[in-house]
Amino acid sequence: MTNPRSKSETLSKTAKTRVQEYTLEKSLGIKKDVWSKYTDKGIEVEEQSIKLFSRVAGIFGLQKNEKQLENDWFTGTPDIINGETVIDIKSSWDGTTFPFFETEIPTKDYEYQLYAYMDLTGARRALLVYCLTDAEEYMIQDEVRREAWRRKVIDNDLQAMQELEQRVYKQMTFGHIPDDLRIKVFELEYDQEKINAMRERVELCREYYAECCNILENKITQ
């Protein structure tokens, strides 16, 4: 959704790059791996994060949505659909990435994601919920090994390893922090104007996708 730098362009460089990646995936099976330890944690602790939010917000009976939705412009799987409210859960990697003091959504992409979810579900309100949830044990141990390698701590230095492990546990477990401080909620109301702008951008992306497909086809047939 970022506007292009040049007035003669209709899409930003970032948007074009994403369309190019999509073209390669659909046409040639070349797919970019977008996995990271951050997304891995989000998947692993999602249920814990939902329970934490439910407990703090006093909204019980929340169920994880597993159904992927699609309309003429968007597709996605909202985490929770609760009446006319759609809720998306983000599990922060550690305390340094949790938005304790933010007053606006830190990542603009998430805002557009919520508008798409409202368009898909008909919801009039969306909540983006950041949760500070303990990492799984295997993630903690993976991080201990990474830190040991980075800091050149050898396994037979037991004291150094114990100190490093304690430091990582403090960074990745949060039982000492009150539950109320471990969630941060940002609220958005339905905005037809912004959704229309997103739909228009989707149409421009489709036009560029057709161009990219033609470029590949012409190269193949030359």
Q: List Cα–Cα distances, 123 to 35, 54, 84, 126, 144, in angstroms.
A: 30, 19, 4, 7, 42
Residue 123 has pLDDT above 70, yes or no: yes
Residues sharing a CB contact under 8 Å with residue 110, sequence separation 6 or more, in sequence order: 88, 90, 128
Q: What pLDDT shows up at residue 173?
A: 96
What average pLDDT does this structure show over 179-191? 97
CATH class of 34-205: alpha beta
Q: Is the dihedral of CA 34, 122, 183, 106 positive or negative?
A: positive
Q: What is the mean pLDDT of the chain?
A: 93
Rounded Cα–Cα distance for residues 203 and 200 (Å) = 5
pLDDT score, position 207? 96
**What are the sequence ranges of the domains in the chain?**
34-205
Tokens of 151: 């800091």
| Phi and psi angles of residue 192, each rounded to the nearest 5 degrees, phi first | -65, -35
Is this model's pTM higher than 0.85 or not?
A: yes
pLDDT per residue over 126-139, tens digit each? 999 999 999 999 99
Is residue 222 scored above 70 in pLDDT?
Answer: no
Average pLDDT over residues 195-218: 96
Residue (of 135, 105, 115, 109) closest to 42 by Cα position: 135
Kindly tell me if the per-residue pLDDT of 80 is higher than 70: yes
> Could you tell me which residue, 51 or 35, shows the higher pLDDT?
51
